Copies of this chain bind each other. A is one copy, B any other.
Amino acid sequence: MTKIDDVARLAGVSTATVSRALRGLPTVSAATRRRVLAAAEQLQYAVSPNASRLAGGKTGTVAIVVPRITRWFFGTVVESVEDFLDQNGYDLLLYNLGGREQTRQRVLRTASLHKRVDAIILVATPLRPADVTALTKLALPGVTISSGSGVPGWPCVRIDDVAAARTATRHLLDLGHTRIAHISGDPDDELAFTTHLDRRHGYQEELRADGIPTDPSLDVESQFTIDGGIRATAELLARGEPPTAIFAACDEMAMGAMTALRDAGLRVPQDVSVIGIDDHDLAGVLGLSTVAQPAAEQGLLAARILLDPLGVRTADPYPGLVPPTGDADGDSPTPPVILPTRLVVRESTAPPRAH
């Protein structure tokens, strides 16, 4: 392996100068820089990240923690974050919790992150008080994406889950539905995090706005997955007269609902309307009406906010949005950056059949 000394020798300068020239520091003459670059090129030199990081005190790496990379929202967020980091010369260290409590502990509670990364992106990761304490002690910059417990001083990028749920419910109400069921995550579902609470809240609020009492028998908790949607819908149907519409807390659950309804011989939307939240890649294929949330944009924005203080020259990190004004050191909680959602009507929602 060619090392910095080799380049220095070939270019006829010191290693310090090679280091400066290669990193584009301004304190190198143009002629010297040229010679160094030529030498590095000729020797196919690549810096040793470990040596560089040890000496420089920066890791050039960002950690991203997600519950499950294979879920649409998390995969899309990771892709956009990776893209941005890559273009800015950062490595991405992926932690896919996958429901493994042991992994969660190891990642969040130990100092392992501290010496390994410059910054952290936490996506929809449930945090216990001990986790928050540990993360705060790390004293690393971080961002959270999606709702739930935050870390003091860390900005948060998210959508307004209550409003998104209200939009979905309003769409069904406007179509004339009154027997509207809700299927959502349960307290043990780490994929649902606290998201399901906000979405249930929005659902109930919107029903009340129309004077429709919430009916517990139309509200089923399950997992934030296709299977969860199938199970919740089966449970719903087992309880008696089917609702005329189902608002699923996420598209994957909505897809499960469509599956369960089909298996029960019910047609969508003729017998039952279905709407979700997300605008999953496959929502169009299934003709699923939904409230679209910008997943890639949330990832990109989070990455920008994170790298900005690290000296990465990025364009306006808050394009047209309300920036978090709190100072990272202060006690005032940083207000979240809210990205907009939007109703997408497809074929899975229609007026209820006349009696």
Contacts and interface: CB of A to CB of B under 8 A. Distances in A.
Interface stretch (A69-77, A124-132, A210-218, A310-318): A69-77
A353 interface: no
Interface in A205-261: 226, 255-256, 258-259
Interface stretch (A16-24, A168-176, A279-287): A279-287
A49 interface: yes
Interface residues of A, number: 51
A53 interface: yes
A297 interface: no
A54 B52 CA distance: 10
A316 B160 CA distance: 49
Contacts of A111: 1-2, 44-46
> How many protomers of this protein does the assembly include?
2
Interface stretch (A87-95, A141-149, A193-201): A87-95
A29 interface: no
Contacts of A50: 49-51, 53-54, 59, 115
A49 B82 contact: no
A94 B287 CA distance: 33
Nearest to A91: B93
A256 to B, nearest CB: 7
23 contacts: A45-B111, A46-B110, A49-B50, A50-B53, A54-B54, A68-B79, A69-B82, A70-B76, A70-B281, A78-B96, A79-B96, A82-B98, A83-B96, A86-B96, A86-B100, A91-B93, A92-B93, A93-B93, A94-B94, A255-B282, A256-B285, A258-B285, A285-B286
